[in-house]
């Protein structure tokens, strides 16, 4: 294998076995993979990092995913929903700090009140910012009518991770009931794309029972789906969940971290002009995890704008950074000295060239 990585990188098309070989490359070879991915990023989407101010709107969730601390059956957390003023204030902070766009994320809720509130908030934020602040939603599985309403109100990007492209693994990390069906999630993702959202998906890396083959399949799944945005992060156990009760060891977290860097680099090399997030979960394992992800080809970060007093309630996984990271002197929260040559793409939506190409092909 050791002779392989350089020639693999030069291939125009990577099949599953090429992807597996890249995932398995040695630690000595990995920097080659990472450097190539960063060069591809610079060439196809520029040497900028775009920002999405993250607003964690509510931790009320109707689902019970076996990995997530916000799951319905976790009775140890206080449930909250931000009020209208709190959301608008966070959005205006993003606007004034010139972040360019926000992402509203939440536990899954399909009540009429929830759907109406999001629609009204999206519309108001668009008005208050003269249509200049981009709006991404990450609000789980909804009906196509709901996705359409939110799109018409002014949201233009949607993130719905498939979590794993393996149906068998999906089944093992979710309850076996009609609220948690792989096919429903996939249908939602297709609907989002058809409506015209810039469509993002992604997976967790290092889930129990997950194999390297599953991860290689995840990459081909995302390529075949022709996604515009990708968000991947290491799985991190939460002790109040069925998959986290037994805790974990740092060694495993480090491995998942390194595997996520490889996944990011391979995605960049294969899909070239999409947006790829340097996730907060990376920062949870390594204080400079996001900077490292950027060095491996990522180009988006999501600084947290959720009012500080709610942060403890949105612990999807354990150890999620809770401090306030957005301030005027450092709007990204990144240590830019660690990523020379990278500048912040401020005041712009930071859309991908990929989305424009995809739409033009239709």
Closest CA to 154 of 138, 133, 171: 133
Residue matched to tokens 């759907």: 115
The total number of residues written for the chain in this structure:
362
Q: Is residue 10 classed exposed, middle or buried when 0-12, 13-18 and 19+ CB atoms within 10 A define those classes?
A: exposed
Strands of the chain (E only): list them: 48-51, 53-58, 101-106, 134-138, 157-159, 198-201, 204-205, 229-230, 233-234, 275-276, 300-301, 343-345
- Nearer of residues 126 and 161 to ligand SAH, judged by Cβ: 161
- Nearer of residues 197 and 317 to ligand SF4, judged by Cβ: 317
Any contact of residue 262 with ligand SF4 (CB under 6 A)? no
Any contact of residue 189 with ligand SF4 (CB under 6 A)? no
Q: What is the DSSP string of 49-78?
A: EEE-EEEEEE---S---TT-TT-TT-TTS-
CB of 65 to ligand SF4, least distance (A): 3
Residue 71 binds what, of ligand SF4, ligand SAH, none (CB under 5 to 8 Å, by partner type)? ligand SF4
Instruction: Give the integer Cα–Cα distance in Å for 230 and 171.
Output: 22
Contact 261, 293 (CB under 8 A): yes
Binding site for ligand SAH (CB under 6 A): 67-68, 105, 107-108, 138, 140, 160-161, 163, 204, 233, 235-236, 238, 281, 316-317
Any contact of residue 233 with ligand SF4 (CB under 6 A)? no
Span interacting with ligand SF4, options 62-70, 92-100, 117-125, 354-362, rule CB under 6 A: 62-70
Residue 19 binds what, of ligand SF4, ligand SAH, none (CB under 5 to 8 Å, by partner type)? none
| Composition of the chain by helix, strand, coil, percent to 5 | 45, 15, 45
Any contact of residue 18 with ligand SF4 (CB under 6 A)? no
- Nearer of residues 151 and 317 to ligand SAH, judged by Cβ: 317
SS3 assignment, position 204: strand
Residue 300 binds what, of ligand SAH, ligand SF4, none (CB under 5 to 8 Å, by partner type)? none
CB of 70 to ligand SAH, least distance (A): 7
Question: Among 22, 37, 61, 236, which residue interacts with ligand SF4 (rule: CB under 6 A)?
Answer: 61
Residue matched to tokens 């939506």: 349
Q: Which of residues 267-326 bind ligand SF4 (CB under 6 A)?
A: 316
- Nearer of residues 107 and 345 to ligand SF4, judged by Cβ: 107
Any contact of residue 65 with ligand SF4 (CB under 6 A)? yes
Any contact of residue 169 with ligand SF4 (CB under 6 A)? no
CB of 49 to ligand SF4, least distance (A): 25
Q: Is residue 1 classed exposed, middle or buried when 0-12, 13-18 and 19+ CB atoms within 10 A define those classes?
A: exposed
- Nearer of residues 38 and 104 to ligand SF4, judged by Cβ: 104
Residue matched to tokens 């194999």: 211
SS3 assignment, position 2: coil
Any contact of residue 154 with ligand SF4 (CB under 6 A)? no
Helix (H) or strand (E) holding 114: helix 112-128
Q: Which of residues 70-109 bind ligand SF4 (CB under 6 A)?
A: 70-71, 107-108
- Where on the chain is the footprint of ligand SF4 (CB under 6 A)? 61, 63, 65, 68, 70-71, 107-108, 140, 316
């Amino acid at each position: 294998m050791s002779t392989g990585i350089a020639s693999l990188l030069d291939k125009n098309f990577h099949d599953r076995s090429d992807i597996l070989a890249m995932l398995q490359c040695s630690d000595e070879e990995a920097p080659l993979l990472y450097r190539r991915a960063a060069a591809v990023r610079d060439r196809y989407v520029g040497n900028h990092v775009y920002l999405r101010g993250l607003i964690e709107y509510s931790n009320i969730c109707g689902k019970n995913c076996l990995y997530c601390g916000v799951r319905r059956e976790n009775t140890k957390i206080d449930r909250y929903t931000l009020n209208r003023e709190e959301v608008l204030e966070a959005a205006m902070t993003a606007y004034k700090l010139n972040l360019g766009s926000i992402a509203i994320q939440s536990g899954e809720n399909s009540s009429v009140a929830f759907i109406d509130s999001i629609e009204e908030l999206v519309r108001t934020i668009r008005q208050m910012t003269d249509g200049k602040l981009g709006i991404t939603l990450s609000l789980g599985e909804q009906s196509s009518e709901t996705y359409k309403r939110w799109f018409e109100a002014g949201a233009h990007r949607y993130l719905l991770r498939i979590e794993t492209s393996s149906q068998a693994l999906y089944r093992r990390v979710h309850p076996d009931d009609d609220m948690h069906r792989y096919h429903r999630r996939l249908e939602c993702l297709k609907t989002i794309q058809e409506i015209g959202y810039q469509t993002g998906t992604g997976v967790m890396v290092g889930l129990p029972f997950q194999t390297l083959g599953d991860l290689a399949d995840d990459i081909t799944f995302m390529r075949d789906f022709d996604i515009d945005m990708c968000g991947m992060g290491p799985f991190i156990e939460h002790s109040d969940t069925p998959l986290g009760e037994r805790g974990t060891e740092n060694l495993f977290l480090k491995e998942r971290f390194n595997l996520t860097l490889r996944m990011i680099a391979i995605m960049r090399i294969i899909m070239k002009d999409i947006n790829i997030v340097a996730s907060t979960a990376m920062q949870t394992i390594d204080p400079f995890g996001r900077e490292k992800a950027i060095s491996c080809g990522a180009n988006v970060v999501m600084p947290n704008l959720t009012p500080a007093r709610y942060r403890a309630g949105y612990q999807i996984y354990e150890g999620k950074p809770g401090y306030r990271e957005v301030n005027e002197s450092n709007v990204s929260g990144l240590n830019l000295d660690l990523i020379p040559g990278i500048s912040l793409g401020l005041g712009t939506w930071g859309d991908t060239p990929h989305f424009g190409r995809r739409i033009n092909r239709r």
